[in-house]
Amino acid sequence: MAGLYFINTDIRNTRAHTCQILNTVSALQDAGVDIHLVSPRYAGTYDIRQICDTHGVRTLSNTLFLNLFGITKPGLFAFIISNISGAVLLIKHIYHTSVSFIYIRSSFFMPLACIAYVFRIPCFYESHRVPIGLSERIRDFGMSIFSYAFIVISEHLRRYYARYNKPILVVHDGVSLARFTDTYTKEQAREKLSLQDKNKVCVYTGTLSTLKGVDYIFATAQHMPDVSFVLAGSLSQEFKDMALPSNILLLGALPQKEIVIVLAAADVLLLPHPRGEYSQSPMKLFEYMASNRPIVASKLPSIMEVLHETNALLIEPEDVSALRAGITFVFNNQEESNRRAEEGKRTVVKYTWEKRGASIADFIHGYSA
């Protein structure tokens, strides 16, 4: 059984989106699936070993690149060319090699799903949120026609995609527990990060955007001047010119192996996602659990599929007062907070990339044999 996994992102970036894709493909290969990652090749050099190392993933085998003819960055034109190059690659593989299925992570590749449908090749569509906007809903509807089955990351999404009457696999994102075997004490981690003060430390990792609720962290920091807020991730344009409180430290985007150190430095890990379809089960959630540090997270349906009152502190979303109260609770109830963190560490073993890959592999085998 051989498959093609089409993505539309430049895999040289450090985003969690790319890390999730690389870990999923790696886990599928480890589960015995002969799958090729197919990625657009933008202008510049690609070193797949270095890319995988940045994301803490073993080097992938069978990586293919779509020719974008010198295009330097993503955009509508790049997506169009990706579909043309992808169609040529897919048809070539259909006629000259064995293709048992294709796997698509973006509805922008709907034309490829259509081609697979015509040739009766199963297409598996992985979705991480309900479509937003008219064009996205149209593409998503097209994927519902051409796909054999859906793979989603939450029960919340399963309920949405159930309308299409197609097989659905619910499988959350995961974590590489091997990255958390060399544990750091708070003191060691803070020394590596040059955190010299004795303040309590709150940590957030991931894209620094209002879509992720980071504005609530900034507002909370203003009310807690004696607490250090350490954020690791790319700062979105909306915050570029914003005057931030002095107790906020921005580390920028970091390789996955350095994220472990940042998490270890925390007294509290923050997951203040707002309501909305961009607030589905985030990959950082599982990294937080694996780090064995107290978590303060938004009380959202998708997050509550994994976190609950025995392994985290859940607060009302979009509420600065609630976020501040949650942080204060952890500081004032250290024994209880540590107990919840330890429970998170114990339960995260259910959410490894290896188990995710095995579940998807079994699902694919069932529908493409």
- The mean per-residue pLDDT over the stretch 56-71 comes to 88
CATH of 177-350, one of 3.40.50.2000, 3.90.1150.10, 3.30.450.20, 3.40.225.10: 3.40.50.2000
- pLDDT tens string 221-276: 999 999 999 999 988 888 888 888 999 999 998 888 889 999 999 999 999 999 87
Q: How far is CA 66 from CA 47, 90, 112, 231, 324, in A?
A: 15, 11, 13, 34, 47
CA 247 to chain CA centroid, nearest Å: 27
- The mean per-residue pLDDT over the stretch 164-185 comes to 90
CA 128 to chain CA centroid, nearest Å: 9
Report the share of the chain in percent with pLDDT over 70.
98
User: Is pLDDT larger for residue 97 or for residue 293?
Assistant: 293
Mean pLDDT value across the chain: 91
pLDDT of residue 345: 96
User: Is pLDDT larger for residue 290 or for residue 242?
Assistant: 290
pLDDT of residue 96: 85
pLDDT of residue 368: 64
- The mean per-residue pLDDT over the stretch 164-174 comes to 95
Q: Which residue has the tokens 């959202």?
A: 300
pLDDT of residue 277: 63
CATH homologous superfamily, domain 2-174+352-368: Glycogen Phosphorylase B; (3.40.50.2000)
pLDDT of residue 320: 97
Is residue 278 pLDDT above 70, yes or no? no
- The mean per-residue pLDDT over the stretch 160-171 comes to 95
- The mean per-residue pLDDT over the stretch 330-334 comes to 96
* Contact present, 236 and 260 (Cβ < 8 Å): no
- The mean per-residue pLDDT over the stretch 113-139 comes to 93
Angle between helices 320-332 and 214-223 (to 10 degrees): 60
Report the share of the chain in percent with pLDDT over 90.
69
- The mean per-residue pLDDT over the stretch 180-191 comes to 86
Q: Where are the alpha helices (DSSP H) in the chain?
A: 16-30, 48-54, 76-96, 110-118, 134-146, 155-161, 186-192, 214-223, 256-264, 283-290, 320-332, 334-347, 353-368
Using pLDDT thresholds of 50, 70 and 90, give the confidence band for residue 32: very high
Is residue 327 pLDDT above 70, yes or no? yes
- pLDDT tens string 65-111: 999 988 888 888 898 999 999 999 999 999 887 899 999 999 999 99
Q: Do domains 2-174+352-368 and 177-350 have the same CATH topology?
A: yes
Give the predicted TM-score (pTM) of the model: 0.91
